[in-house]
Amino acid sequence: MSAVGASAGMPMPPPAWAAVLSPRLAHRLRWRNVLVECVLLLAIGYNFLLAVVNAKVFTVRPAMTYVVEFVLYGACFVLGIWSLDRRRAALVVGGLGFIVLLALVRFFVAWQFDPKFLRDALIPFAFLVLGCAYRGSVPRLFVRMTLVIALVAAFELAMPATYGDVVNPKSYFVNARGFSASGFWNEDSNLFVSATRPGARNFLPGSNLPRASSVFIEPVTMGNYIIFFMAVLLAFRRWLSGWKQLLSFGLIGFLIVASDGRLAAGTCVLMLLAAPILRRLDQRLAFALFAAVLLGGWALVSAAGVQAYEDTMLGRIFFTVDSMSRLSLQAWLGLDINAAYRYFDSGIAYFVVSQSIFVVLAFLLAYSFLMILPGREGQAFKHLAILAFALSLLVSNGYFSIKTAALWWFVCGWLWQGAPVLPSARQLWQQRSAVPAGPPP
């Protein structure tokens, strides 16, 4: 079990013997890092791979996607659970036990069970544990990942017909995700339904380009990734050289334009403005930041005088406010299972109805007071994550997708297990990753 980062504050420097690793141990750590990276990449990109298989090899059915997801969750726990110290292992096991126990209680009370909701609750634990096992550099990992995503997006924009033929998101979502073919209004395109929505783009309106999806095969998750990468860049900017920071901001700008991401652009600007404050805000106030964002949405709708739903940002926030005001006691207690599927455009209503108010409160308390992340990097990332999550809950339940949630919880786990932080981050990193020419004395 790892003892690094056992304290609530900055992680302790590694002991003297840890500064020098035997070649055999260093080799094992390298391979474990590679395996961890592969699991994470598969988590965000397995739909892309299955879509190619569906388009070119054989039809992919929903059962196959479920099997792949649960194999990924199993891999997360197998690779990561041994990296936890006793306290962290107890918290993870206790949290999983609470989720399972509550699911059983809800089943015996309502005689209803939906495995999707249990899967939603499993994702944070799985990728938190996976992040704990990683000993590489998270900022560098996501700079490389973003570069790959940008290259795929550029290919998609340059040759949308070829991308549609090779990946064929339309066929994949119909065969594997239960979408109706009639819902894809553009019969001339194999891209996702919202990739070629009617009307001009917000960015490059006269270009007639689709909204790029890259490896995510649909634009909404692409926007969520942009927000995530902005949080990584703001939290760990001192880990990156000047040219990597410029490259990263350039990639964010390109991806926003490529995906035509309105919410991504607005959230990135808000995070950029809020970051100096969030770096100094006590991370135990994360629950207050979450509540402030939701109350801010209610105040915004009231001030704007919105009285009905429409497919705009304010219209979706109104839907969230209106939905929360109409929830029954049964829905608040998580006993109205079927009601959750009415709230795809209201993440907070979906969260409450699918998990119950008890899980929502437990999540906020655990996130605020039990998961203490070290240094200003950890504090900044933790607040940026809850800010992005709360903003998303006003308009969507997209953050419950493995393609989005896995990323945030992976970084939280990496920090939680005691990743080195500035000041002296580079010196600690050199000690942790140093590989000697021979065995230690």
- DSSP-based three-state secondary structure for 227: helix
How confident is the model over 150-194, as pLDDT tens digits?
Answer: 999 999 999 998 999 999 988 898 899 888 777 776 667 788 777
* Position 280, amino acid: R
Predicted pLDDT of residue 365: 96
Burial class for 298, CB neighbours closer than 10 Å (0-12, 13-18, 19+): middle
Residue 436 pLDDT: 47
Q: Which of 129, 127, 119 is nearest to 355 (CA)?
A: 119
What is the model's pLDDT at position 420? 52
Q: How far apart (Å, rounded) are the C-alpha atoms in residues 215 and 238?
A: 28
Nearest to 167 by CA among 64, 54, 68: 54
pLDDT of 262 = 86
**For each successive 10 residues of the chain (441 residues), what is the average pLDDT?**
39 40 75 94 95 94 93 95 90 94 89 88 96 92 96 94 91 87 73 70 76 91 96 93 94 94 92 94 96 94 84 86 91 87 89 94 96 92 97 92 96 84 46 46 38
What is the predicted pLDDT for the residue at 437? 41
| pLDDT digits 0-9 by tens, 195-247 | 776 666 678 777 778 889 999 999 899 999 999 999 999 999 988 989 999 99
In angstroms, what is the C-alpha Rg of the chain? 22
Residue whose structure tokens are 């600690």: 428
Give the model confidence (pLDDT) of 407-416 as tens digits. Answer: 999 999 999 9
Collapsing DSSP states into helix, strand and coil, what is residue 175?
Answer: helix
